[in-house]
Structure 1
Amino acid sequence: MAASGAQEQLESNPQYYQSLLAIEHDPKLKDTIDADIHRTFPDNVLFQSKAEPSLQKALNNVLLAYGHHNKAVGYCQGMNFIAGYLILVTKDEEKSFWLMDALLGRILPDYYKPSMLGLKTDHEVLGELVKVKAPAIGQLMDQFPGIWTLVVSRWFICLYIDILPIETVLRIWDCLFYEGSKVIFRVALTLIVHHQPEILRARSLGDVCTCFKEITCGAFTLDCHAFMQKIFSEPGSLSMATIERLREKYRQRILVEESGQS
């Protein structure tokens, strides 16, 4: 709460969260959220509708409030997992709301807007970073246009929830709130660089997709302490300035391509 700036926002805006819940809700926003509530952590007993108390109500409240707070985003698939995860950790709706605001509003802007420009940009940035850190994999992936969107889209949009073991994800999120979005790239690069031999054995698009699912499992990601040490050593140096330079380059390129298509 302190590292992300969420505590400051909470204290500066007393009753704001409650006021968002008290207003009349947009029926379309409500229906979209309702459709995803039951798909959120279906195996977690606390999120089952028969649980006492069920966290589904808290999840619904946080997503509705955020949808009204950030109208440019509203609600997008993937946000239910992020809000649900925050509720599990904080056990507090209002704290979860402000942490979500820190993530979606400041740390990962444009990931969840309808255009998903930030997410598309970061797929391309990762591809460029892989060419520098693991050139052989960069060459392999170049054979398959659009491959990065296919293999890492869920990694990024769910911030590794349901991709990596829960304790490892919690450690990643600590760093994400403290250090910002470059941590997402560090995790992806570590998974890719560490499993370079397996990835390079891929001979088809199907092989690559299967391999990217498999590299998130197993002992390497299960030992969260060792894994976190690896993400700060294995990919080597990675500055925010480099990431921002690449983001600007690819953001402009995507905007030009999309304006040409329309």
Structure 2
Amino acid sequence: MDARTALAGLAGALTVLLVHRMYREHVRRVRLRKILKELRKRIEKLQSTTENLLKTAEAMQGKATRREEETMRRVESARKELSTISPQRARFLLRRGVVVPLVRGVLWERALVSDEEVKRTGVAEVNEMAKWGNGSEYELNYLRTIHADLARTFPTTEGFERKGRYLPRLEKVLRAYASQDKQIRYVQGMNSVAGLCCLSATDDAQAFRLTNALMRHPGYLHREVFGRGQGRDLGFPLACQLGWILDRLMEKYHPNLSAHLNKTLAMMNCPKGMFSGRNVGFMTLKWFLTLFASVVPPSVSVHIYDLFVADGHVSALRAAMVSISDVKAQWLATAGGDTKVLQPKLWHNKEDADGCPSEELRDTWTRDPWALIAAIRAAPPSIDEFESLRTEYARLQASKEAS
């Protein structure tokens, strides 16, 4: 009897344990079903939200695309309209600073390039000219120099960094130009001039036409800055002319600074003239060879080029006069004979704090193109004064050759 009772009690206990376990399993499954049901609801809600977000994003993308297309239609319309204006009107707009990057190339082209040249020199013609450089060792030497200078052209500017989108265009333009200019081919510094043309142009052909015009247009002939000398001739004929004119302007507008610098040059047994004579090669290298493209950031230097396209090399002289005014107080404070005045970096590099001692003009040179344009336009010389000094220089050169 006791055994039976014990077995019955054990069976009852096991039954209770089993029922308790089954109940706990049932509760766990109920909770799990509730959790899964809640998760499904949240997933469905998340999917719905995601779908709504995707629809909203697609709608916004569509609106942005339509706005971009509308903007490009307006830009193309503006380019088409500007492509019909006269060269005089284009120069007027450039001179007034009425330029935005998307139409700069068109305005430059209207001021520099004839309609016949635009029709004659298209993308196919430029591609054909750009094959130059793969022939003789003579051509390969120039090509190696071009390749080396590509990496040095505005390396911190978007599009000119390593594998940047403008580098293939720049190489094509430089090779195409070298194929046409048989006397000069390529000289370091041309890459900066062509680089700004590439930055402003709408395609490779326009970039070449702009570069070619700046170099060879009768009103500019910037290629003469890169001309090579023979014998004792320094070369750089246009740079020599501009340097001589700049010295005359200094004598007139900054006589105390001119006298101070010439006194320092005399103490060092150097010829008179800070920017002419033997000094022209290194003191005006970045000013006149690259038209300040190596002195200030491209975002600012394109505005100096606007003025150059409008008025020619007189704008480069005016920019040089602004630069001289900037460092005048510093150089007048130096002792006579201090060789520091002959360090081109301190005259040229406006992005370097040491090269731009005038705090009130630092923003002008590096970030505020509108203030820089106003300063350059207000600086001497006038067109008449520039032409008069050019005539005087030509007369001196003729008399020197005659003697």
> 1:81–1:158: 8 Å Cα contact kept in structure 2?
yes
| Percent identity of paired positions between Structure 1 and Structure 2 | 20
- Normalised to the residue count of structure 2, the TM-score between the two structures is 0.57
1:151: Cα distance to partner? Answer: 2.7
After superposition, residues 91-106 of structure 1 pair within 5 angstroms as: 91-106=202-217
Q: Give the letter for the 1:4 counterpart.
A: L
**Cα distance, 1:236–1:103 mapped onto 2, change above 3 Å:** closer
Q: Does 2:181 correspond to 1:37?
A: no
**Cα distance, 1:250–1:49 mapped onto 2, change above 3 Å:** farther
Which string of whole-angstrom CA distances, capped at 9 and with x for unpartnered residues, describes residues 160-219 of structure 1? 113124333111111111211111011111221354322312331214536424248712
In structure 1, distance between residues paired with 2:115 and 2:206: 8
**Cα distance, 1:235–1:22 mapped onto 2, change above 3 Å:** closer
After superposition, residues 3-14 of structure 1 pair within 5 angstroms as: 3-5=111-113, 8-14=116-122
> 1:117–1:251: 8 Å Cα contact kept in structure 2?
no
Unaligned runs of 5+ in 1: none
In structure 1, distance between residues paired with 2:363 and 2:214: 29
> 1:125–1:250: 8 Å Cα contact kept in structure 2?
no
The equivalent position to 1:237 in structure 2, one of 382, 385, 394, is 382
The equivalent position to 1:90 in structure 2, one of 201, 206, 215, is 201
1:109: Cα distance to partner? Answer: 4.1
Q: Does 2:257 correspond to 1:111?
A: no
The aligned residue for residue 151 of structure 1 is 283
**Cα distance, 1:34–1:211 mapped onto 2, change above 3 Å:** closer
Q: Comparing both chains, which one has the higher relative contact order based on Cα–Cα distances under 8 Å and sequence gaps of 6 or more?
A: 1
In structure 1, distance between residues paired with 2:304 and 2:113: 17
**Cα distance, 1:229–1:19 mapped onto 2, change above 3 Å:** same
After superposition, residues 62-141 of structure 1 pair within 5 angstroms as: 62-106=173-217, 107=220, 108-115=222-229, 116-141=236-261
* Aligned residue pairs, count: 255
Which string of whole-angstrom CA distances, capped at 9 and with x for unpartnered residues, describes residues 71-98 of structure 1? 1120000011111221122142211111
17-26 or 179-188: bigger deviation? 17-26
RMSD: 2.8
The aligned residue for residue 17 of structure 1 is 126
- The secondary structure found in structure 1 opposite 2:183 is coil
> 2:300–2:369: 8 Å Cα contact kept in structure 1?
yes
131-140 or 164-173: bigger deviation? 164-173
- Normalised to the residue count of structure 1, the TM-score between the two structures is 0.84
- The secondary structure found in structure 2 opposite 1:139 is helix
